[in-house]
Amino acid sequence: IRCFTTISDHFDPEEVIAILQDYHQRIGSLITQHLGTIGYRAGDGLMAFFNDPVTCEGPVLEAVKLALDTRSAFEDIRLPCSKQGHPIGLGIGIASGYATLGLIGFQGRTDYTAIGGVVNIASRLCDKALDGQVLLTRRAYIDVESQVRADLLGTWQLKGVKDGIEVYSVLGLGESAA
């Protein structure tokens, strides 16, 4: 979520919790519907991954569909903040590739999560995405190019990533994805 620190400064803590609970409830339900797994949850951010432990036929297409559904659901989530003059935004990054998945934690408090370069790239894309924008890596785009409409934005240098990453912006689903 973009500009969430401002919300935390201008709203009572109970209101902030209510906004976050609504966000996590709605988006968590969408992740489940799209056969994803929540791998990271921290206040105003979520990471979902696909194809483990629940297998799915087209993990990148499911990720794109989730992103578009999340963007739609976010319109209702942002409304209370916008009404009070504090607009918030949402950016989404999708990368495709291999990651190591497993339990991370200690003393009975563990989370099943993904670790690896692909996770870092998706996070960096998320950071760069403008409000409402869904960004894809080239590898992710190739997986779904016949099913989505997207624009090539160019090759970007992302923080902590050695090589430039070709980035696409999702415009919507194509007819074959419906």
pLDDT of residue 177: 61
Dist. CA 86–CA 88, nearest whole Å:
6
pLDDT of residue 132: 94
* Angle subtended at Cα 38 by Cα 104 and Cα 100, rounded to the nearest 5 degrees: 45
Whole-model pTM: value is 0.91
pLDDT of residue 5: 85
Nearest Cα to Cα of residue 86 among 21, 27, 20, 2: 2
Average pLDDT per 10 consecutive residues for the chain, totaling 178 residues: 85 90 93 93 88 92 97 90 87 95 90 92 95 97 96 94 94 80
pLDDT of residue 134: 98
Dist. CA 141–CA 15, nearest whole Å:
38
List, in order, residues 6 or more apart from 35 with CB less than 8 Å away. 50, 54, 56, 62
